[in-house]
A and B are shown apart, each in its own frame.
Chain A
């Protein structure tokens, strides 16, 4: 019998049975919720007189709408206030543990799950947020769901699912200086396309991934969905176990040893059979920047903007040029920016803040540029302050904010205005994504964002290394 992938193993151990529709009823080991996609789900439970089947397996926090500057209640935005009150009421009524606005564990769901050790290898994990694939960094089968599915998880701790195929993506060799995890995933999406992962779970491996720390692996897995893959994961290894040891929700003593034995057992077998295999070399990756309106429209920093005809969908590329307002053949290097944003579930952890701070240290944000650093969680904020990163940022002219999703999707007061261009460490450059219908987003690594902030334009971060 051919070996099995991690995906196969977790799928099998979590399968409750086959439903009349032919779908698999899949048990969900961990359910994370936040204020945005859950209120109607709780309403549906109430309407149907149902309780939460496994309340101890759901954890809640607030991240999307929270202001990152003035956090006093009630929020100035009455809609945001109403939404947070709805969550506060729901978690209380249904007995769900809640890390509220002032709780030490508050933060972006995809930052706090791993940080607390809630996210573990060999689990299924669902959350009403497409970037749930982040947790796959731990060898967790993690995916985003809609609100009706949130209701299903609350009511049954299961989902009706179809099994995916598995594509192994090996990034071999080593990365060059100034090239980060963000560049790896932007390149992967650029190569395979924004819809290339449809029907697949992505298994990331190879020497480049093996060498990454957990936070870097989270950055890679986070953007799987931008490549069309519902699930992305890395097989758990010693790096994973070392990260988890001692975290609040991770077992200790002999139980930890048993956990490690289980975690090891879920990794893909050496002879695992994949539905597709992709290989590429780390040395071929440059610092990468998106130029268009989807994360696949990206170029290396030394490249010129492509002609629409170079894409399989020239009309899509033309629409991107129309929105962005630049011309094919122009260099991405030197593109002016108005705003710089370091943050989001993709890049707001200590590794990211350190990388940005290393560039910012002793330098100044270019006059007229609005630059924000938004840590991913209250804990990240605390750790960064212990290291003095906040002082580096503030001295350089960055605003140092409280934890939340912030300008990634601009559901709080942090927004672009008009036609502003933002160098952003987030995950989506969609039209209107950062709060202004005419706004423009250039996705890049946190170090590249910091370098852009200092220069008021896109530069090659390798000049600082």
Chain B
């Protein structure tokens, strides 16, 4: 069984990726979903926005040496919409992103991040603009996302962050990797299943 890892605090530099409704096809093009493991996903986040057809680097925050080593990603609204591919958060995580701060997240994407132990936390539109400006002006700024106090701090600033309480519990108690927690109740699962008429093909 996997060991319990509590996710309470993520500290590091940040990188901003601007724009609303950034879909998971943009985060990772479908052709990389043909790989049988997630092992190489860290090479691919935003691939077609970072490289042209000949493999030459384009202007993109993830190519910018100023943001190298960032562990926190700043995004706008409805980030991660579209396809349920976990390859998208896997690509960001394996690239080095350990927490994502944004105005809002698409449902499946936020669930995928949480089950991987990557918090997706929200702040207001005004705050995310301020955060993006702060990192664009000073890319070496250190930020700390604290899930216990529900705050994000940098320099002299401390702002409130939000995330669903159940996600916060899962992360801070180390039960985000949910299989063990769910498997502990298998007997109860079988009881619930036995009461559902379709499980016996409506035999009675």
Known: A27-B196, A122-B198, A160-B182. A148 touches B86 (CB 8 A): yes
A145 within 8 A of partner (CB): yes
Contacting pair A431 B37 (CB below 8 A): no
Extra 7 A-B pairs, beta carbons < 8 Å, given A128-B84, A194-B81: A36-B85, A79-B34, A82-B36, A130-B108, A147-B86, A194-B78, A313-B77
B54 within 8 A of partner (CB): no
Bound Cα distance from A259 to B200, whole angstroms: 11
Residues of B159-204 at the interface with A, using a CB-CB cut-off of 8 Å, are 164-166, 169-170, 173, 175, 177-179, 181-183, 185-186, 188-189, 192-193, 195-199, 201-204
Complex interface: stretch among A15-23, A301-309, A373-381: A15-23
Interface string of A237-266 (1 = CB under 8 A from B): 000000000000001000110110010000
Contacting pair B186 A156 (CB below 8 A): yes
Complex interface: stretch among B25-33, B62-70, B144-152: B25-33
A395 within 8 A of partner (CB): no
Residues from chain B with Cβ under 8 Å of A22 in the complex:
165-166, 169
Across the interface, name the chain A residue whose C-beta is closest to B188.
Answer: A16
Contacting pair A27 B192 (CB below 8 A): yes
Tell me the count of chain A residues lying within 8 A, CB to CB, of chain B: 81
A-B contact pairs, 18 of them (CB 8 A): A36-B34, A37-B33, A40-B38, A53-B189, A146-B108, A149-B112, A160-B170, A160-B182, A226-B82, A251-B201, A255-B203, A259-B202, A262-B202, A411-B30, A428-B25, A432-B25, A432-B48, A435-B30
Contacting pair A16 B164 (CB below 8 A): no
A-B pairs under 8 A by CB, number: 220
B13 within 8 A of partner (CB): no
Bound Cα distance from A361 to B108, whole angstroms: 41
- Set B37, B169, B203: member contacting A40, Cβ < 8 A: B37
A294 within 8 A of partner (CB): yes
Interface string of B110-142 (1 = CB under 8 A from A): 011001100000000000000000000000000
Contacting pair A433 B25 (CB below 8 A): yes
Q: Taking the nearest CB of chain A, how far is it from the CB of B19, in angstroms?
A: 7
B35 within 8 A of partner (CB): yes
Known: A148-B86, A313-B77. A160 touches B181 (CB 8 A): yes
Known: A25-B189, A230-B107. A14 touches B21 (CB 8 A): no
Bound Cα distance from A39 to B2, whole angstroms: 19
Residues from chain A with Cβ under 8 Å of B48 in the complex:
431-432, 437
Contacting pair B84 A145 (CB below 8 A): yes
Bound Cα distance from A256 to B86, whole angstroms: 38
Where the two chains meet, the residues of A that have a C-beta atom closer than 8 Å to any C-beta of B are 13-17, 19-23, 25, 27, 29, 36-37, 39-40, 43-44, 48, 50, 53-54, 64-65, 77, 79-80, 82-83, 86, 120, 122-123, 128-130, 144-149, 151-152, 155-160, 162, 194-195, 198-199, 225-226, 228, 230, 251, 255-256, 258-259, 262, 294, 313, 315-316, 319, 409-411, 428, 430-433, 435, 437
Q: Taking the nearest CB of chain A, how far is it from the CB of B82, in angstroms?
A: 6
Bound Cα distance from A294 to B22, whole angstroms: 9
Contacting pair B19 A23 (CB below 8 A): no
Contacting pair B81 A20 (CB below 8 A): no
Across the interface, name the chain B residue whose C-beta is closest to A157.
Answer: B189
Q: Is the interface of A mostly helix, strand, loop or mixed?
A: loop
Q: Taking the nearest CB of chain B, how far is it from the CB of A168, in angstroms?
A: 19
Bound Cα distance from A22 to B33, whole angstroms: 33
Contacting pair B186 A14 (CB below 8 A): no
Known: A15-B192, A147-B86. A50 touches B183 (CB 8 A): yes
Contacting pair B30 A409 (CB below 8 A): yes
Bound Cα distance from A410 to B87, whole angstroms: 16
Residues from chain A with Cβ under 8 Å of B83 in the complex:
129-130, 409, 428
B155 within 8 A of partner (CB): no
Tell me the count of chain B residues lying within 8 A, CB to CB, of chain A: 65
B10 within 8 A of partner (CB): no
Contacting pair A13 B78 (CB below 8 A): no
- Set A14, A16, A43, A130: member contacting B185, Cβ < 8 A: A16
Contacting pair A17 B188 (CB below 8 A): yes
Residues from chain A with Cβ under 8 Å of B170 in the complex:
21, 23, 160
Bound Cα distance from A159 to B20, whole angstroms: 29
- Set A25, A294, A409: member contacting B21, Cβ < 8 A: A294
Contacting pair B53 A430 (CB below 8 A): no
Known: A54-B193, A82-B36, A155-B179. A120 touches B198 (CB 8 A): yes
Residues from chain A with Cβ under 8 Å of B89 in the complex:
146
Residues from chain B with Cβ under 8 Å of A156 in the complex:
179, 182-183, 185-186, 189
Bound Cα distance from A410 to B48, whole angstroms: 15
Residues from chain B with Cβ under 8 Å of A77 in the complex:
34
Across the interface, name the chain A residue whose C-beta is closest to B79.
Answer: A195
Bound Cα distance from A120 to B201, whole angstroms: 11
Across the interface, name the chain A residue whose C-beta is closest to B110.
Answer: A198
Known: A152-B182, A294-B23, A411-B33. A145 touches B108 (CB 8 A): yes
Contacting pair A25 B169 (CB below 8 A): no
Bound Cα distance from A36 to B28, whole angstroms: 14
Bound Cα distance from A17 to B201, whole angstroms: 24
Contacting pair A255 B179 (CB below 8 A): no
